[in-house]
């Protein structure tokens, strides 16, 4: 291994690029905070206290879909590709890879980065936070590429109102009810497919997907659709028919991509030639239906550790699959990636989700305190990670997820809703799932004004922005939960154990599905 060492001292240059398998920077002063950068869209990104490592989040069963799996239980402050420390003088020292399959850690007085396979270049920058991250983003753009300069689209998607309970009749009603609201895209989310892995219209969409896309386009909007092509549910026909297409571990067992929809998920091998052909055919089919806005989700599956048809680093393998998907859907298609490894997605998508899912509540005690899980859907979680990824904005359109205007089935107060709306303006990506029938007249007009606004944004400090002359401070969303104490520790252990039981998650999924059916029936 080719390792280089650097001593951080008063003569340290503002920036340098170093080639090495592993690079160690020796610190001569204690840092205040460490910038922890999560692996994929939903993984935590924030500044953390260097003296207090974060607890291992629970449940472990979900680690594959929330973390970089190799480091989910890593004991030291660490991050994927990037690590930075904040000094007493408010300057930062950033160590960031300029290639894939790299990791950074802070152990005592050493900031160390390494490539998991081979060597590569590292950017080392010292100075004011905004300028250092801007320079790093510029170098990443030169190495990995950046998105086309496209006008951001205003999106209505079905997920945060109808979830998997969508059907053809309901969506046609929504399309009509949206009327003259200035949306550019109507996106059909999860619930239209036969199964995760079997991407054909189910019996809730008897007219087929082409007919639905045509209905959307008649309103003058683009037709959008959601799918997760790199994973498959255990029950899917794809998994049953082609088990040799899926990643396995060194013991020959299928690599878990997590647990969702009440069952285990597995991940396709993007180096397998038959898989690449299948992915290409699928994207051409979806584009052929008439969808010009495509959201691909759960993309982390393609970069999970495992044995592949071709022996290569896992993020490089993922990028091969993503390139095939991008080319097959057509360069005229707007491509939003989600649940996606951050750096390996750059240059291949138009927009990138930069935080976990929002929710109609600010924070959930079970998730934040007992499970200590900042990747689980919640508005505070989404704002925290998204604001720490705003620096990606010069490389890709940054999607912080949807905003809420409705008061129906939403416990967010006005201040919390406003903060989420301002985040969307800061990122320049506007989307909502609010059903028109749920909006009061004043809420509908606020939504219209939000969609029509052309905002001027100026960042004043790490968490403070000037948004159209209004000072917006995101600091209230930044703190991580307090560590559980006393009885909460015992409750957390029990809750984590229950969350690791597939049968418990299946019951919860069944309860949620039944509740959704009732909600749709009541509309």
Asked if 383 contacts 423 with a C-beta cutoff of 8 angstroms, the reply is yes
Rounded CA-CA distance 401/160 in Å is 10
Residue 182 resides in a domain: no
Last residue of a domain, one of 144, 177, 196: 144
What's the mean pLDDT in 501-510? 93
pTM of the model: 0.96
The DSSP line for 314-337 is HHHHHHHHHHHHHHHH-TTSEEEE
**Does residue 501 lie in a domain region?**
yes
Share of residues in the chain with pLDDT > 90 (%): 88
Calculate the CA dihedral of residues 63, 67, 70, 75 and round it to 10 degrees: -90
Q: Is the pLDDT score of 321 beyond 70?
A: yes
pLDDT, tens digit, 9 for 90 and up, residues 390-413: 999 999 999 999 999 999 999 999
pLDDT in tens, 224-254: 999 999 999 999 999 999 999 999 999 999 9
Residue 75 has which token pair?
Answer: 């004991």
d(CA 87, CA 94): 11
- Residues 267-317 have pLDDT tens digits of 999 999 999 999 999 999 999 999 999 999 999 999 999 999 999 999 999
Q: For residue 167, what are the β-bridge partners? A: none
Dist. CA 211–CA 441, nearest whole Å: 31
pLDDT score recorded for residue 133: 98
DSSP 483: P
55 has a pLDDT exceeding 90: no
- In this prediction, residue 384 carries a pLDDT of 98
Buried-state track 297-306, b at ≥16 Cβ within 10 A, e below 16: bbbbbbbbeb
Does the pLDDT value for residue 489 go beyond 70? yes
Tens of pLDDT, residue by residue over 432-443, are: 999 999 999 999
15: which strand partners? 125
Give the pLDDT confidence score for residue 199 in this predicted structure. 98
Q: List the structure tokens of 277.
A: 């052909």
Q: Count the alpha carbons within 13 Å of 399 in the hemisphere toward its beta carbon.
A: 27
Residue 380 to residue 270: CA distance in whole angstroms: 34
Place of tokens 């154990």: 497
Quote the CA–CA distance of 456 and 35 in Å, as a whole number: 28
Give the three-state DSSP class for 209. Answer: helix
Q: Is 171 left (phi over 0), alpha (psi -120 to 50) or beta?
A: alpha
The pLDDT of residue 433:
98
pLDDT at position 3: 78
**Which of these three, 123, 144, 165, is where a domain ends?**
144
- Say if 80 falls within a structural domain: yes
The answer to whether position 104 is within a domain reads yes
In a domain, 110, yes or no: yes
Question: Which domain does 522 fall in, by range?
Answer: 489-523
- More confident position, 425 or 147: 425
pLDDT at 334 over 90: yes
Neighbours of 101 (CB within 10 A): 24
Kindly state the percentage of the chain with pLDDT values over 70. Answer: 99
In the block, residue with structure tokens 């690079």: 23
Return all residues near 395 (Cβ < 8 A) that are at least 6 apart: 137, 140, 141, 144, 146, 147, 346, 347
pLDDT band at 208 (very low <50, low <70, confident <90, very high): very high
Q: What is the pLDDT of residue 500?
A: 94
pLDDT at position 515: 85
Question: How confident is the model at residue 232, as a pLDDT?
Answer: 98
For 464, the 3-state DSSP assignment is strand
List CB contacts of 512: < 8 A, sequence separation 6 or more.
163
Last residue of a domain, one of 115, 144, 173: 144
- Spatial neighbors of 258 by CB under 8 A, at least 6 apart, are 61, 62, 63, 64, 65, 66, 264, 265
Q: What is the mean pLDDT of residues 264-269?
A: 98
* pLDDT-derived band at 360, boundaries 50, 70, 90: very high
Q: How confident is the model at residue 85 (pLDDT cuts 50, 70, 90)?
A: very high
Distance in angstroms (rounded) separating the CA atoms of residues 410 and 408: 5
Pairwise CA distance, residues 276 & 303, whole Å: 15
Provide DSSP, 374-395. TTSS-HHHHHHHHHTTGGGGGT
Number of domains in the chain: 2
- Is residue 39 included in any domain, yes or no? yes
The span from the CA of 229 to the CA of 375, in Å, is: 22
Domain membership flag for residue 313: no
Whether the bond between 10 and the residue before it is cis, its omega within 30 degrees of 0, is no
The mean pLDDT value of the chain amounts to 95
Contacts of 493 (CB under 8 A, 6+ apart): none
Q: Would you say 301 and 340 are in contact if contact means Cβ atoms under 8 Å apart?
A: no
CATH number at residue 24: 2.60.40
As to burial, measured by CB atoms within 10 angstroms (0-12 exposed, 13-18 middle, 19+ buried), residue 413 is exposed
- Answer yes or no: is pLDDT of 1 > 60: no
Looking at the domain assignment, is residue 124 inside a domain? yes
Say how far apart CA 421 and CA 434 lie, in whole Å. Answer: 13
* Integer Cα distance of 266 and 255 in angstroms: 6
């Amino acid at each position: 291994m080719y390792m280089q060492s650097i001593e951080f001292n008063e003569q340290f240059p503002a920036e340098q690029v170093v080639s090495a398998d592993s690079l160690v920077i020796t610190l001569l002063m204690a840092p205040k905070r460490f910038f922890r950068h999560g692996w994929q869209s939903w993984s935590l990104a924030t500044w953390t206290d260097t003296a207090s490592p974060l607890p291992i989040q629970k449940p472990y069963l979900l680690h594959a879909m929330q973390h970089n799996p190799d480091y989910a239980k890593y004991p030291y402050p660490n991050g994927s590709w990037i690590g930075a420390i904040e000094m007493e003088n408010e300057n930062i020292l950033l160590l960031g890879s300029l290639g894939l399959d790299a990791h950074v850690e802070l152990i005592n007085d050493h900031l160390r980065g390494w490539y998991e396979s081979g060597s590569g270049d590292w950017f080392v920058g010292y100075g004011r936070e905004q300028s250092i991250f801007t320079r790093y983003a510029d170098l990443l753009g030169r190495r990995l590429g950046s998105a086309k300069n496209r006008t951001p689209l205003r999106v209505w998607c079905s997920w945060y109102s109808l979830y998997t309970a969508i059907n053809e009749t309901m969506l046609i009603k929504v399309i009509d009810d949206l009327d003259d609201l200035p949306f550019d895209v109507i996106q059909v989310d999860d619930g239209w497919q036969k199964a995760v892995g079997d991407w054909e219209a189910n019996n809730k969409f008897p007219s087929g997907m082409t007919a639905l896309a045509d209905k959307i386009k008649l309103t003058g909007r683009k037709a959008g659709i959601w799918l997760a092509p790199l994973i498959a549910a255990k029950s899917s026909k794809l998994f049953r028919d082609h088990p040799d297409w899926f990643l396995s571990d060194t013991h020959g067992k299928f690599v878990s991509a997590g647990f969702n929809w009440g069952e285990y998920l597995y991940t396709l091998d993007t180096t397998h030639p038959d898989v690449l052909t299948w992915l290409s055919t699928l994207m051409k089919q979806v584009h052929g239906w008439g969808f010009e806005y495509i959201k691909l989700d759960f993309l982390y599956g393609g970069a999970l550790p495992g044995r592949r048809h071709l022996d290569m680093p896992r993020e490089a393998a993922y990028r091969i699959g993503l390139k095939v998907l991008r080319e097959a859907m057509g360069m005229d298609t707007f491509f939003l990636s989600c649940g996606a490894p951050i750096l390996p997605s750059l240059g291949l998508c138009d927009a990138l989700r930069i935080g976990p899912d929002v929710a109609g509540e600010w924070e959930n005690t079970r998730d934040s305190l007992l499970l200590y899980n900042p990747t689980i859907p919640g508005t505070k979680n989404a704002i925290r990670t998204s604001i720490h990824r705003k620096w990606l904005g010069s490389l890709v359109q940054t999607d912080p997820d949807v905003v809420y205007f409705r008061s129906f089935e939403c416990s967010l107060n006005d201040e919390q809703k406003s903060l989420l709306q301002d985040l969307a303006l800061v990122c320049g990506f506007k989307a909502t799932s609010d059903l028109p029938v749920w909006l009061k007249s004043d809420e509908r007009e606020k939504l219209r004004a939000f969609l029509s606004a052309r905002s001027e944004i100026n960042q004043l400090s790490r968490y403070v922005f000037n948004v159209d002359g209004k000072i917006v401070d995101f600091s209230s969303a930044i703190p991580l939960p307090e560590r559980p104490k006393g009885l909460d520790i015992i409750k957390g252990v029990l809750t984590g154990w229950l969350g690791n039981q597939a049968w418990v998650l299946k019951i919860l999924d069944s309860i949620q599905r039944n509740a959704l059916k009732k909600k749709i029936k009541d509309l």
